[in-house]
Amino acid sequence: MFSQTCWQRQWAQAITDPVELLRELALDPALLPGAQAAALKFPLRVPRSFVARMRQGDPDDPLLRQVLPLAAELDPALGFEADPLNEHAAQAVPGVLHKYHGRALLIATGVCAVHCRYCFRREFPYAEAHAGTDQWRPALAYLGSDPSLREVILSGGDPLALSNQRLEALLAALERIPHLERLRIHSRLPIVLPERVDDGLVDVLTRTRLRSVLVVHANHPREIDGTVVKALEWLATAGVTLLNQSVLLRGVNDDAATLAALSEALFAARVLPYYLHLLDQVQGAAHFAVKESAAFAIMSVLRQRLPGYLAPRLVQEQPGQLAKTLVEPRA
């Protein structure tokens, strides 16, 4: 459906200047000083195909809110910090985070196609902590040294930012570790840049001996347009298990109707809703926070409106815990 040069060309043409983003969407120039100041701290990056799904002239568009730098990001907020999940302590070797039994996470790259303003790794030291091409050897040695590991999780950045050739080389190395059985990839690219799903990628994911699970990241039903549906259906037809995780974000999806529509749109594209995360408290993202009481109310309505398999689990990741924490109202 797509060629590798297609997605790479769109990647190169992403919007990185707040001036251009405001002009493309006919937004009030008064937003510019705050956007430029925040972008100095955490740069803007958004594919044009994702911008095309946003409403013209609407500063509160839920897709725009996820990517538009705001002056609010520079305001200090109690409890919000650079490493909210204490990932530094979980790093076994450069590029490998080992938090949970039976699985380890490999930071395959520090590059993303879109810079989500709520990203919990917006201040992650990728230059010293990702397992890039030159650093795969110690990461692979660590994964091979622990026979309790059954699953490797590719994260980043975005692991699908790797070319098909580099991804294939990494998977070939992982396949040589006999105790690994499953490959899980966490990626936003099939949502924000669906052209990334090309023949080469599908071939790489279906030829590996590892059982492939792709966890995509969509927060709002308008992210799931026709091109995204085609890309996801292509992966599903090829045998890749597809799950979605969302983040509960104020002003984006903090109401039951929006999340129910998202679950329906995902399932129509052959993706199962998986997790709905409470916001990780990374500095710069406090304006996205939703109170637990509001989250519980939303989940109650979702469970009434949707069959169980379409209602995501409300979770929170907490430093030092042995698994993600299911968040439920206190008795």
> What is the topology classification, in CATH, of domain 87-326?
TIM Barrel (3.20.20)
282 strand-pairing partners: 81
317 strand-pairing partners: none
CA distance 187 to 210: 17
Q: DSSP strand E in the chain: where?
A: 91-93, 96-100, 103-107, 151-155, 182-187, 211-216, 241-247, 272-277, 313-316, 325-326
Label the pairing between strands 182-187 and 91-93: unpaired
Could you list the pLDDT tens digit for every one of the 331 residues in the chain?
555 578 999 999 999 999 999 999 999 999 999 999 999 999 999 999 999 999 999 999 999 999 999 999 999 999 999 888 888 888 999 999 999 999 999 999 999 999 999 999 888 776 555 555 556 899 999 999 999 999 999 999 999 999 999 999 999 999 999 999 999 999 999 999 999 999 999 999 999 999 999 999 999 999 999 999 999 999 999 999 999 999 999 999 999 999 999 999 999 999 999 999 999 999 999 999 999 999 999 999 999 999 999 999 999 988 877 778 898 887 5
The ranges assigned to domains in the chain are 4-74, 87-326
